[in-house]
Amino acid sequence: MFGRRADGRRISDIDPIIQFTPYIMPTRNDASNQITVNLDYEPMADYIRTRSKQGVKITFMDLIIAAYVRTVSQHPEVNRFVMNRQIFARNQIVVSLTVLKNAKDRDSLDEDTIKMHFAPDATIDEVAQEVARMVAPAANDAADGTSDFAGKIVRIRPLVKFVVFLARILDRYGLLPGWLYDLSPFHCSMFITNLASIGLPAMYHHLYNFGNTSVFLAMGKFEKQYINTKDGIKAKTVIPLGVNTDERICGGASYAMACGCFIKYINNPKLLEERPESIKTETEYKPFK
């Protein structure tokens, strides 16, 4: 309440048009902008191979998350969210990731969702370590995650509607308990899913109206793209990302600059080994465990 929440601070010293937008587009699905970004496979694959020879495991997902975290450190406006028609600066960089559990039989494809917290100056190694630390127990069904909590609630079905209704009201006014913010995958800077792991192409995943996620990335299976060069037509491998964003949090120019920053780090992953020279913020970052 009063402009402060457990997960952010209300900001008003921004473009009045941006402040006005949530009143004409009250929900995230109203304000959904979608684009496919084709990432160049070669620089990412080369970097992964180089680090593998050094005995360090880095994945494509690690690189995408690390590039996003670094982008937020330079363009904090993409880490905003809208709640109750007000714009907030998020006080942490939080990434939710859908994890495919290690199935006991091949016909089972159960999933869980994990939340990972990253410092704005996190390096690629720190990101990879955190992803590995969080994914392992979730994939092996050893973590008390979102699915565990949801499973307990749905056992008492009359409670489900009431619990969700109450959570929406409390969230609207910034009164949701901190432990629920920590548990809810729908309260995050960016939600990402790896559709390539189940053989699907990239898609535009919807933004949830529950919670406050402003960015959703869906990585699809790798594709061949044919491009014209001075030497003729050549095949190029790309990693398609289906990107869905809430257009209300910042202007198009800000999104464009953030996208350019993201691509720069994807094409030059070695830059992510060093901490950024400076960090830009719109609010004080909240320490995380």
- Per CATH, the number for 4-273 is 3.30.559.10
Three-state SS string across 129-163, please? HHHHHHHHHHHCCCCCCHHHHHHHHHCCHHHHHHH
Distance CA 173, CA 109 (A): 37
Q: Note the pLDDT of residue 41.
A: 97
Under 8 Å between Cβ of 253 and 31: no
Grade residue 100 by pLDDT with cuts at 50, 70 and 90: confident
Residue 44 scores a pLDDT above 90:
yes
Distance CA 277, CA 202 (A): 34
CA 225 to each of CA 2, 130, 222, 262: distance values in angstroms, whole numbers, following the listed order: 51, 33, 10, 21
Q: Note the pLDDT of residue 213.
A: 96
Distance CA 213, CA 126 (A): 23
Residue 112 scores a pLDDT above 90:
no
Q: Which of 7-21, 143-157, 253-267 has the lowest mean pLDDT?
A: 143-157
Residue type, 247: E
Residue 286 scores a pLDDT above 90:
no
Q: Note the pLDDT of residue 179.
A: 80
Mean pLDDT score of the chain, rounded to an integer? 90
Residue 2 scores a pLDDT above 70:
no
- Of residues 225 and 190, more confidence is placed in 190
Q: Note the pLDDT of residue 110.
A: 76
Q: Which of 58-67, 93-102, 148-157 has the lowest mean pLDDT?
A: 148-157
Q: Note the pLDDT of residue 231.
A: 81
pLDDT digits (tens, 9 = 90+) for 53-76: 999 999 999 999 999 999 999 999
Partner residues linked to 232 by β-bridges? 229
Grade residue 111 by pLDDT with cuts at 50, 70 and 90: confident
Q: Note the pLDDT of residue 137.
A: 81
The DSSP bridge pattern shows strands 93-100 and 190-194 to be parallel
Q: Note the pLDDT of residue 180.
A: 83
Residues 6+ apart with CB under 8 A from 244: 32, 33, 34, 204, 205, 206, 207, 215, 216, 218
Distance CA 222, CA 38 (A): 9
What is the domain partition of the chain in residue ranges? 4-273
* DSSP string for 182-230: HH-TTSSSEEEEEGGGGT-----PPPPSSS---EEEEE---EEEEEEET
Q: Note the pLDDT of residue 181.
A: 84
Q: Note the pLDDT of residue 77.
A: 97
In what helix (H) or strand (E) does residue 82 lie, and over which residues does it extend?
strand 80-83
Task: Classify residue 279 by its DSSP letter.
Answer: -
Residue 3 scores a pLDDT above 70:
no
Residue 199 scores a pLDDT above 80:
yes
Residue whose token pair is 């409670």? 159
Tell me the percentage of the chain whose pLDDT exceeds 70: 90
- Alpha-helical (H) ranges within the chain are 16-24, 41-53, 60-74, 124-139, 146-154, 157-172, 178-183, 252-267
